[in-house]
Structure 1
């Protein structure tokens, strides 16, 4: 049985992730050869989402049985051009996740929790840690166009505090509030 899990820069549902991802721009061009405009592309992707539901993250959010999931740590980066943060927040809300007190911003639908110390982690505990990369977040497009690759998706995975949080969680089950000193705000990516 799995004791705990880490979801690094995740998101769901796939239709939301895909159409807002930098990686979708080439597929969008191909789809526009068959459809009149992006509105039609998005409608088709929304319909196809029903087929994906049983195989991707959002299909597992509704519990089919009353077994709690193992403790889960979710880490996401504000400014990620590959997986939009809104998709990570949707996943966190679906899990009933909580957030630690020191964070870059409030997140709709997620309540605050305290650090999860060794011995008090419970089955079903899910915590979201969000990192704000100010420069990259400010550079995300405000309209419906694709952004440029800014490295947040990769750099979050090698942020020294994110790695420390994962290391402690995997080895002890403790979820540290690593944002105490800086609210997990980074001026820019550091990789």
Structure 2
């Protein structure tokens, strides 16, 4: 078999695996229920193909998450307002949080699976540092805000996947209700008076 054919097969297998994993996470009851064997069977490949291509289940989840996250990352790095860096800082912060929330609403089980790969802490997962850094940079542009790092952590806590799952799955909150509540919360946090030194 030629090298070109091997690469084409590997690319086709990767696409099939990601599509199968995406579908399984989208309709599962719990992300823990989705196994590598399930994904391999749904993709029509052997488990060895999964391990060669992704290393382990965590690597596969990361790859799937990155694929889903790419459009939001591009928008945040230089897309149209309100996500673009040239937008007013408060509007950009609100838009960034809304984008994170919508992403987690659209990918609830995948987000839960990814945040569960950080061991005891979802803050150890690579994408968290990226979101935090982007949000902190926008917060640092707001005059009078002296605690941008902590504020970024506190605001991102409102978009944690387990909280989103609880509010949507248990409390039956709608997408629009969640977006409105997060926007209101963000506005209150950023508009609140700073304590005197």
TM range (shorter): 0.3 to 0.5
Q: Using CA pairs below 8 Å that are at least 6 residues apart, which structure has the higher relative contact order?
A: 1
With the length of structure 2 as denominator, give the TM-score of the two structures: 0.34
- Specify which structure has the higher proportion of helix: 2
- Specify which structure has the higher proportion of strand: 1
With the length of structure 1 as denominator, give the TM-score of the two structures: 0.34
